[in-house]
Amino acid sequence: MDKFSVFSARLVEKDELFTSGHRACQGCAEALAVRLVMKALGRNTIVAMATGCMEIISSPLPTTAWQVPWIHVAFENSSAVISGCESGMKAMMRKGKLPAKKINFVAMGGDGATADIGMGQLSGAMERGHDMIYVCYDNEAYMNTGIQRSSATPWGASTTTSPAGKISKGQFTQKKDMPKIAIAHNIPYVATACPSFPFDLMEKVEKAAAIEGPAYLHILSVCPTGWRIPSEEAIKYGRLAVNTCVFPLYEYEYGKYNLTYRPHPILPVKEYIQGQGRFRHLTPEDIDSIQERTRTEYEKLLKLSEEG
């Protein structure tokens, strides 16, 4: 944590490409993540965004929060839309219809757009090898429509379609591992990040932009509204997710795993779980089982990282 106590806005790019005045909820860490991603990308960027919180809050006609060219078509297809932008511009530059220039082609979507409805289209875009960055802002449920479960919702979380009840623990499945699915496409760069660790996040975005070919970034974006925590605690819960190893920060670059941050000491998951309204029904035994799974998953990742 010490490394990040020096955080200062002065060390970060001043240009705001995702500007204030948007309609995000108070304390939205996803809006913060978008802002940091855009700072790292710079102006030579085209963004295709999926339907969802970030789209709705940033583009109510006739206003926009975007200072870069931005397009929204539908929910599931930001990866296909950016494929078209990238290939269309490539052809036009090759044919001399546009001046040659390096542009970042970036698709963005929430966890529902990425892990559920847009999974096939993302897989297609990664497989075809477009020079693009896909950013998943994972707030672990369909927050825009009112906190319904997605396949990225963690086990035990109570949502409006996986409610905790007399015979229900809430979400009944384990969180889908999207970064691993991206890695299985043999793309050059995959990374996880969290806006509670802003420099780590921005460095990864810069790396993704520099690498030719598809890159996938999975950003844990704490949602105070959906996680039922106070709006001023989003950054704290992001840190806790990382420091309990529930959400490890790592990257995968040309076949090699690298943990970019090793929490020391590793905090018990209980500190992350307790205090979140979505987990308040869980028993100590339930939390133990989450602890156990977190430990084994982290050990697997450590091993992969040591293997290089």
Partner 1 sequence: MAKERKGIEVSLAVAEAVGQADCDLISAYPITPQTHIVEHLSEMVANAHLDAEFVPVESEHSAMSVCCGAAAVGARTFTSTSSQGLALMAEIFFITSAMRLPVVMALANRSLSAPLSIWNDHTDTMMVRDGGWIHVFVENGQEAYDHVFWAFRVAEDPAVRLPVALNIDGFIMTHMIEPVDFEDDELIKRYVPEYRMEKRLDPDNPVSMGCFAMPEIYSETQMVRENALVESYATCIKAWDEWAALTGRQYHPVETYRADDAEYCIVTMGSLGETAMAAVDELREQGELVGVIKIRLWRPFPFDDLFKAVAGKDTLIVLDRAISFGGPGGPVALELRSALCNSPKAPVVVDYVAGLASRDVTVEDFKSIILGGKAKAAGGEIAGFTFYGLRG
Binding footprint of partner 1 on the chain (CB under 8 A): 43-46, 48, 55-56, 59-62, 64, 66-74, 76-77, 80-92, 94-95, 97-98, 101, 103, 120-121, 123-124, 127-128
Q: Which residues contact 145 (CB under 8 A, 6 or more apart)?
A: none
Residues in the chain: 308
What is the C-alpha separation between 205 and 39, in angstroms, rounded?
9
Pick 87 or 260: Cβ nearer partner 1: 87
* Beta carbon of residue 4, minimum distance to partner 1 (angstroms, whole number): 31
Pick 71 or 302: Cβ nearer partner 1: 71
Instruction: Examine residue 265 and say whether the peptide bond preceding it is cis (omega within 30 degrees of 0).
Output: yes
**What 3-state DSSP class applies to 28?**
coil
**Residue (of 255, 235, 232) closest to 243 by Cα position:** 235
Pick 38 or 191: Cβ nearer partner 1: 38
* Beta carbon of residue 304, minimum distance to partner 1 (angstroms, whole number): 28
Pick 127 or 271: Cβ nearer partner 1: 127
Per DSSP bridges, beta strands 215-220 and 133-138 are parallel
Q: Which residues contact 206 (CB under 8 A, 6 or more apart)?
A: 40
* Beta carbon of residue 290, minimum distance to partner 1 (angstroms, whole number): 35
**Six token digits for residue 139:** 């707030």
* Beta carbon of residue 162, minimum distance to partner 1 (angstroms, whole number): 26
Pick 80 or 222: Cβ nearer partner 1: 80
* Beta carbon of residue 157, minimum distance to partner 1 (angstroms, whole number): 28
